[in-house]
Structure 1
Amino acid sequence: MKKSTLLHLRIPFSFFLLPVFLLAVAISTEAHTQNLVLAFLTLHFLVYPASNGYNSYFDKDTGSIGGLKHPPQVSKELYWTSLLLDFVALCLGMFISLEFTVMIFIYGVISKAYSHPSVRLKKYPVLGWLAAGLFQGYFTFLLSFIAINNISISEVWNWSIQLPGVLSTLLLLGSYPMTQIYQHEEDTRRGDVTISKKLGILGTFHFTAITFLLSSSGFFYFFTEYYTLIKGVLFLSSMLPVLVYFTWWYLQVRQDEQKADFTSTMRLNFVSATMLNGYFIYLWIS
């Protein structure tokens, strides 16, 4: 495998998507260990890297992208590798359940439609934003939950399961525009009109702040209602470093919009993912 192919799979970037899976683990009452491990490996080492590689192949970015400050030139090998990873993911999925495998397949189709030139959801600001938020949030949460608990999709319609799934999408709908904030020039060059481009740089910050407030309030209600007040307060406390960094960065960008760069975006992603992952692991082991 070429080094460029491996880099474009962006396997470490899966860390930023891990909170949705850990949330599903944390609220599971009867986790099936084998399914948990298989689902984790399938999502974070096959499905997500395949999606990253496929997206990179058709984007052919010359500027920074999520997880890669200086992306190398792509090759046809990246295209075939991404498809191979998807195929292996489907094969592994069958060891869990047919429903899980079908949902993985649907996720793969949507992720390809996001970047493939014949559809390219990415060029539609609202549709692309909704697709990313829904499938990386709610949909992934549900497929993770049914795998971890070894149940069918007909058993996940309880509000105690649906609410965290909805909240995970709300959180992603707020954070996703921030991942596009430094790519406005690159997106304009390709003719993609992302939600962040529509909102503008400061507008993206304002939108994310409002959505972050709503999702955090929703999670506080969930953890207080279904667990304890202490767990709700601890969740809000775990989000404080995210709020502090976000506010500091926002004040910097108000002075100079060039500060809305790749490095700062990745730092926000890292702080946010680390705090969420840490809290959900705490919830799981407690």
Structure 2
Amino acid sequence: MTKSTFLHLRFPFSFFLLPVFVFGVAIAQPEDWTRTTLVFFILHFLLYPASNGYNSYFDQDEGSIGGLEHPPEATKNLYGWSLILDLLALGLGLLIDWRFSGLLLIYGLVSKAYSHPLIRLKKRPILGWLAVGVFQGYFTFLMTVFGVSTYHIDLFDWQWQLPALLSSMLLLGSYPMTQIYQHKEDKERGDITISLKLGILGTFYFTGTFFFISTLGFIYYFKETYSPQTGLLFIILMLPVVGYFFYWFLIVRKDANKADFRHTMRLNLVSALMLNLFFLIFALNL
């Protein structure tokens, strides 16, 4: 594995996707922590990096990408390692359950369709947005719950469906923000992302609306399923995220060039830190 390949796999970027896993674990309350650790490893050290590498290879970005401000050249070595990590994920997934391995396969195929030139969902603003929001949210939540549970569960039960849908609401709102600094390169390449369609300020309005709706959904869910205090804790821990979002928004209104990589990564980091902290506290207090 070359240094370029290692960087493009973007292992640290998996931290931004960790909240959905922690939420799923918190709700499922697993008893087998060896199994849970294996599911965590498969998702965050194999499946997600494989997806990152595969998409980087076909995108051939010259500007900043998620987790890499100055990406090196994406080579054939990266393509090969992305497939190796995918195969390792599927193989280890069989140790959990063949159906879990099947879910990993479906996720991997959809993630490949996002950037592969024959399909390239990234060129389709609505389909690309839905694919990311549904599979990194709803689908991953249910995949986590299924993977960590040692007892039979009905994934179509509302007990799992509601938190899975809420997970997607967060992703559907936050994902356009991750594209906001790539407008120029995406437009030149012909990738019409949803953020590009919305425009810079439109992306802020869109994300703010989705975040508000998903927050109301989470408050309702925690209040009705657990306690009003849990919903209140969610609001309190989201305040730093809201504060930074509005701070950045006011800066961008004065200077559109501030819709850049560094501000985007800071928002992602604050959001991931606060969500992971909340779901961890939530899990420990159930």
The answer, yes or no, to whether TM exceeds 0.5 is yes
| 1:8-23 paired onto structure 2 within 5 Å | 8-23=8-23
RMSD: 0.9
Q: 1:151 to 1:98 in 2, by over 3 A?
A: farther
What is the DSSP-based 3-state SS (H/G/I as helix, E as strand, rest coil) of the residue aligned with 2:96? coil
Counterparts of 1:150 and 1:265 in 2: how far apart (Å)? 38
Match of residue 210 from structure 1: 209
1:81-230 alignment to 2 at 5 Å? 81-151=81-151, 155-230=154-229
Matched to 1:166, the amino acid is: L
Cα distance in 1 between the residues matched to 2:29 and 2:254: 48
Give the superposition deviation at 1:98. Answer: 1.0
Separation of aligned partners in 1, 2:220 and 2:99: 30
SS in structure 2 opposite 1:239? Answer: helix
Partner of 1:275: 274
Equivalent residue letter for 1:48: Y
5+ unaligned residues in a row in structure 2: which ranges?
Answer: none
Amino acid at match of 2:217: G
CA offsets 1:192-214 (integer angstroms, 9 cap, x no match): 00000000000000000000000
Rounded Cα–Cα distance in structure 1 between residues aligned with 2:14 and 2:132: 15
| TM-score (norm: length of structure 2) | 0.98
Q: For residues 29 and 261 of structure 2, what CA distance do their matches in structure 1 show?
A: 39
Q: What displacement does 1:29 show?
A: 3.2
Rounded Cα–Cα distance in structure 2 between residues aligned with 1:81 and 1:276: 31
Q: Distance in 2 between matches of 1:30 and 1:9?
A: 29
TM-score (norm 1): 0.98
Kindly indicate whether residue 16 of structure 2 is the aligned counterpart of residue 7 of structure 1.
no
The percent identity for this pair of structures is 59
Answer whether contact 2:170 2:211 (CA < 8 A) is retained: yes
Structure 1 contact 10–52 (Cα < 8 Å) conserved: yes
Say if 2:30 and 2:36, in contact at 8 Å, map to a contact too: no
Which residue in the other structure is 2:37 paired with? Answer: 37
User: Post-superposition, which runs of at least 4 consecutive aligned residues in structure 1 deviate over 3 A?
Assistant: none
Letter in 2 for 1:15: F
2:73 equivalent in structure 1: 73
Aligned length: 285
Equivalent residue number for residue 247 of structure 1 = 246
Looking at structure 2, the residues matched to 184 and 68 of structure 1 have their Cα atoms a distance apart, in angstroms, of 16
5+ long unaligned stretches in structure 1 = none
